[in-house]
């Protein structure tokens, strides 16, 4: 049974999808998150000047949920809420009680196109985000004269135990067959730590959850073995299988 390293927090959905395809899964979390500016976010949520809300990460959804008061924010039930994937879509419904749009968009570029086609140029959206956000979505929407009010609600930092986790992985009894990356910032932290000690991990095939993460890996001078067609477990497994099947 091949061992696959997933650089993300533990997930039963991913574990199940890979196990069913005869892979052993190891989760390594490269990131730590801390919430900031929640009072400012709560004040903005209380305003009635936005056509909608854009939530492109689980942490942004968590930040909003920490401020959420259904009795005070009833107007959001009549506004548009956009996200990029089915997992985030489900999280928004469960945490906020809202019905999001864009769950099949898959990435920021497709989401920006969807928002542009469904809204007028005078629209204004609230965009809670992280300190390392991509500028793709804001830039594309601003080109369409759609106003984006960005508020940084969480900070992304390197997991303090990342190097220790990587060394343990490198020295384990069974060598991994590949590594799957889930964020550009995670790619950067992992790559930087792998430069600090001799390892077998750097030569493994690198897979990405989406194009943004894939571009980051390539910018670090590394090759991409595959990119998931959608940011869901089944697509990630398919990407890995597609690589190893002709190589067996």
pLDDT tens digits for 54-90?
Answer: 999 999 999 999 999 988 899 999 999 999 888 899 9
Q: Cβ neighbours of residue 215 under 8 Å, at least 6 residues apart?
A: 184
pLDDT at 246: 66
Are 42 and 67 in contact by the 8 Å Cβ rule? The answer is yes
Same domain, 39 and 151: yes
Beta strands in 100-175 (DSSP E): 124-130, 147-158
Choosing from 156, 174, 192, the residue where a domain stops is 156
pTM of the predicted structure, to 2 decimals: 0.79
Same domain, 71 and 21: no
Q: How confident is the model at residue 230 (pLDDT cuts 50, 70, 90)?
A: confident
DSSP conformational letter for 41? H
Same domain, 53 and 152: yes
Task: Tell me the per-residue pLDDT of 9-41, one tens digit each, with 9 for 90 and over.
Answer: 999 999 999 999 999 999 999 999 999 999 999
Give the pLDDT mean for 195-214: 95
Report the percent of the chain where pLDDT is more than 70.
99
Residue 247 has pLDDT above 60, yes or no: no
- Tell me the β-bridge partners of 155: 34
Give the domain CATH number at 90.
3.40.50.10090
Give the pLDDT mean for 117-133: 94
Same domain, 238 and 173: yes
Give the pLDDT mean for 216-230: 95
In degrees, to the nearest 5, what angle opens at C-alpha 23 toward C-alphas 27 and 183? 40
Same domain, 169 and 125: no
Task: Tell me the per-residue pLDDT of 158-192, one tens digit each, with 9 for 90 and over.
Answer: 999 999 999 999 999 899 999 999 999 999 999 99
**Helix/strand/coil percentages in the chain, nearest 5:** 45, 20, 35
Same domain, 142 and 45: yes
Same domain, 182 and 109: no
Are 80 and 101 in contact by the 8 Å Cβ rule? The answer is yes
User: For residue 70, what are the domain limits?
Assistant: 33-156
């Amino acid at each position: 049974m091949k061992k696959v390293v997933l650089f993300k927090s533990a997930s039963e959905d991913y574990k199940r999808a890979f196990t069913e395809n005869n892979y052993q899964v190891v989760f390594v979390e490269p990131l730590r998150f801390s919430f900031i500016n929640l009072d400012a976010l709560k004040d903005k949520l209380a305003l009635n000047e936005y056509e909608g809300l854009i939530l492109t990460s689980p942490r942004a959804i968590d930040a909003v949920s920490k401020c959420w008061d259904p009795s005070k924010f009833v107007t959001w039930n009549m506004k548009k809420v956009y996200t990029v994937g089915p997992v985030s879509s489900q999280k928004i419904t469960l945490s906020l009680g809202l019905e999001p749009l864009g769950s099949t968009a898959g990435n920021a570029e497709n989401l920006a196109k969807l928002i542009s086609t469904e809204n007028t140029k005078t629209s204004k959206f609230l965009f809670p985000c992280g300190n390392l956000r991509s500028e793709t979505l804001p830039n594309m929407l601003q080109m369409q004269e759609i106003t984006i009010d960005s508020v940084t609600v969480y900070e992304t930092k390197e997991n303090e135990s990342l190097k220790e986790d990587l060394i343990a992985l490198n020295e384990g009894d069974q060598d991994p067959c590949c590594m799957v990356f889930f964020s550009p910032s995670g790619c950067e932290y992992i790559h930087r730590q792998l430069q600090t000690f001799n390892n077998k991990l750097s030569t493994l095939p690198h897979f990405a959850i989406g194009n943004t993460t894939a571009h980051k890996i390539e910018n670090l001078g590394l090759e991409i073995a595959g990119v998931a067609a959608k940011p869901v477990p089944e697509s990630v497994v398919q990407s890995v299988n597609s690589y190893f099947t002709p190589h067996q």
